[in-house]
Chains A and B, each alone.
Chain A
Amino acid sequence: MSEQQDFIERARSPFSEAFEMFRKNHAAMAGLFVLVLIVVGGIVGPYLYVGDPFEMVWAPTTPPGEEGYLLGTDYLGRDMVSMLIYGARVSITIGLSAALLTVFIGITVGALAGFYKGWIEEVLMRITEFFQVLPTLLFSMVIVALFGASLPMITLAIGLVSWPAVARITRSEFLRIRELEYVTAARASGVSNLKLIFKVILPNALPPIIVQAALMVGSAILFEAGLSFLGLTDPNIISWGQIIGSNRPYILDASYTVTIPGVAIFVTVLAISLVGDGLNDALNPKLRQR
Chain B
Amino acid sequence: MAIFITILQRVFYAVMLLIAVLVLNFSMLHLAPGDIADTIAQASGGADAEVLEQIRKDYGLDQPFIVQLGQYIGKVLSFDLGHSFFYNQPVTSLIFEKVPATLLLVITAQIFALIVGVLLGVFSARNPNGLLSHFVTFTALFGYAAPVFWTGILLLITFSLNIQMFPSGGMVDVTVEGGFFTHAWDLFKHMVLPVFTLSTIFLALYSRLCRASMMEVLGSDFIRTAKAKGLSENQIVYKHALKNSLSPVVTLAGIQFSAVVSGAVLVEAVFSWPGLGSLALQSIIARDTPTILGILFFSALVVIVGNLITDMILRLIDPRVGSKG
Contact = CB atoms under 8 A, between A and B. Distances in A.
Interface in A71-109: none
B299 A255 contact: no
A146 B265 contact: no
Interface residues of B, number: 49
Majority secondary structure, B binding face = helix
B21 A266 contact: no
Contacts of A218: 144-145
B149 interface: yes
A106 B156 CA distance: 38
B184 interface: no
Contacts of B292: 141-142, 145-146
A44 interface: no
Given A230-B266, A273-B144, A141 B280 contact: yes
Given A134-B296, A244-B149, A229 B269 contact: yes
A244 B153 contact: yes
A255 B155 CA distance: 12
Interface stretch (B221-229, B254-262, B317-325): B254-262
A137 B149 contact: no
A273 B204 CA distance: 14
A193 interface: no
Nearest to A241: B147
Interface stretch (B60-68, B121-129, B175-183, B300-308): B300-308
Contacts of B31: 146-147
Interface stretch (A60-68, A115-123, A200-208, A257-265): A257-265
Nearest to A244: B150
Contact of B17 (A130, A226, A262): A130
Contact of A230 (B142, B156, B281): B281
B150 A266 contact: yes
Given A229-B149, A241-B147, A251 B29 contact: no
Contacts of A267: 145
A130 B153 contact: no
Contacts of B303: 133-135
Interface in B263-321: 263, 265-266, 269-270, 277, 280-281, 284-285, 287, 289, 292-293, 295-296, 299-300, 303-304, 307
A258 B147 CA distance: 12
A232 interface: yes
Contacts of B24: 134
A146 to B, nearest CB: 4
A146 B32 contact: yes
Nearest to B149: A229
B154 A259 contact: yes
B266 A133 contact: no
A217 interface: no
Contacts of A241: 147, 149
Contact of A262 (B147, B281, B299, B307): B147
Interface string A253-282: 001001100100111011001100000000
Nearest to B303: A133
A132 B146 CA distance: 23
Contacts of A1: none
A21 interface: no
B187 interface: no
Residue among B33, B150, B265 with max Cβ neighbours from chain A (10 Å):
B150
A252 interface: yes
Contacts of A262: 146-147, 150, 153-154
5 contacts: A133-B300, A134-B258, A142-B284, A244-B147, A248-B153
Closest 4 CB pairs of A and B: A137-B262, A262-B150, A146-B32, A270-B145
Interface of A: 129-130, 132-139, 141-147, 218, 222, 225-226, 229-232, 241, 244, 248, 251-252, 255, 258-259, 262, 265-267, 269-270, 273-274
Given A135-B300, A218-B145, 5 more contacts: A147-B31, A225-B149, A266-B145, A269-B146, A273-B144
